[in-house]
Homo-oligomer: A and B are copies of this chain.
Amino acid sequence: MTTITGVDVHDVRFPTAAAGDGSDSINRGDYSATYVELTTDAGVTGTGFTFTNGQGNEITCAAVRALAPSLVGVSLSADPLAFLRSLTAHPQLRWIGPEKGALHMATGAVVNAVWDARAKLAGRPMWEYLASMSTSDLLACVDFRHISDALTPSEAAAILDRGLVGLDDRLARLRDEGFPSYTTSVGWLGYPDDKVRALTKQAYADGWRAMKMKVGGPIEDDVRRAAIIRSEIGPDALLMMDANQIWGVDEAIANMARLAEFDPYWIEEPTHPDDILGHAKIQEAVSPVRVATGEVAANRVIFKQLLQADAIRVMQVDACRVAGVPEVLAELLLAAKFGVPVCPHAGGVGLCELVQHIAIFDYLRVGTSLDGRMVEYVDHLHEHFTDPVRTREGRYLLPSRPGYSSDMVPASIDRFSFPGGPEWN
């Protein structure tokens, strides 16, 4: 029995804003991590983080400190649902969520650190650790409160049991081919046209056949940039568009009518992330273009409704905005129930490292299909992780080291710590 003995949190910020990397219609910041280290009496350190955009990272760090008393002294083999609710339904802290915003993001960081420690103790990469769990052990982690009207435990059990059939074949396929992905590195709003063209050419040459561009600037600019990218990638490669929530509902519909000539594969975050009904209206209007969202969807209750309302046809769960592995599991199960493919959100700091495990586990045990599945890939900041993602011709290769690939390089933590690290001093 292993017990959590301490919680450390680091405010780590990378100065990305100046270069325009990560810039879109809403966000322009310094990619940052609220980085958590859980020490245990077994000597293993569990790590987890939530991604933020620079300013405000001190707020999520404060939220981790507020959660710490609920962690220290807890056994890693404690009842997983009771442990999860001690954080998500904390009788005082819950008020400043509930299950959303800074507090919930911090919850994601610490819950993932617990799961990282578990996988390390088991000596397995997270995807393999999860895929090898029994159906009942997996279900014991899921909080069905507030989602059981859409997915019952017995339906979830059936999905996970079915996932055992053919698992070895699917794993062999992944070992052979890697996991499909797409790149977001070509079309940030902060990039001038010639940089977009050059990056698109390069990505295509590197084997990428699915690329995402940011939209949501003046519509004429969006049209011009879409034309550049489509002309470089030809008619067969996929072009995804991402509005980062800037549009109103009717505006999204009107703008997508303008952009339809470039054959978008999906429109991501067309409007406010809380607007279930708005997404449903947009999905109906832009079909067969898919509506995709999820990177800032607060929790499983939002995802439940997006699926119930046929508001999305691609689910872009984030690994650490929600309450870590167990809430992601709930969301994968919901997606499987409704037949919607999961294409996890990545980029940021370390998100690619996390979500590769989610996508692989989803294919092996939950969704069991690669049809329409792609993991986002952004070529930033991987050098700061001890087990960085590896890609080959636009596909992720299977991670093999124990844990959730979330360990940051100690020298990077020191250098980029805010405000005291040498990078910021």
A245 in contact (CB, < 8 A): yes
In the complex, are the beta carbons of B100 and A100 less than 8 A apart?
Answer: yes
Q: Mark A254-288, 1 if CB is under 8 A from B, else 0.
A: 00000000000000000111111110010000000
Which residues of B are found within 8 Å of A103, using beta-carbon distances?
A: 56, 59, 101-102
In the complex, are the beta carbons of A92 and B29 less than 8 A apart?
Answer: yes
Among B95, B271, B281, contact of A146 (Cβ-Cβ < 8 Å): B271
A132 in contact (CB, < 8 A): no
Q: What is the interface of chain A mostly: helix, strand, loop, or mixed?
A: loop
State how many copies of this chain the complex holds.
2
Most buried by B among A101, A250, A271, A281: A101
In the complex, are the beta carbons of B273 and A149 less than 8 A apart?
Answer: no
A198 in contact (CB, < 8 A): no
Chain A 37-88 interface residues, beta-carbon cutoff 8 Å to B: 52-56, 58-60, 62-63, 66
Chain A 86-127 interface residues, beta-carbon cutoff 8 Å to B: 89-105
Report if A91-B29 is in contact (Cβ < 8 Å); known contacts: A59-B66, A96-B101.
yes
Among B27, B245, B309, contact of A91 (Cβ-Cβ < 8 Å): B27
Complex A-B: 20 CB contacts under 8 Å: A26-B94, A28-B92, A52-B95, A53-B92, A56-B63, A56-B96, A59-B62, A60-B96, A100-B101, A102-B102, A102-B103, A146-B249, A149-B250, A149-B281, A274-B299, A275-B304, A275-B305, A277-B305, A278-B301, A278-B305
* A residues neighboring B (CB under 8 Å): 17, 26-30, 52-56, 58-60, 62-63, 66, 89-105, 144-149, 245, 248-250, 271-278, 281, 296, 298-299, 301-302, 304-305, 308-309
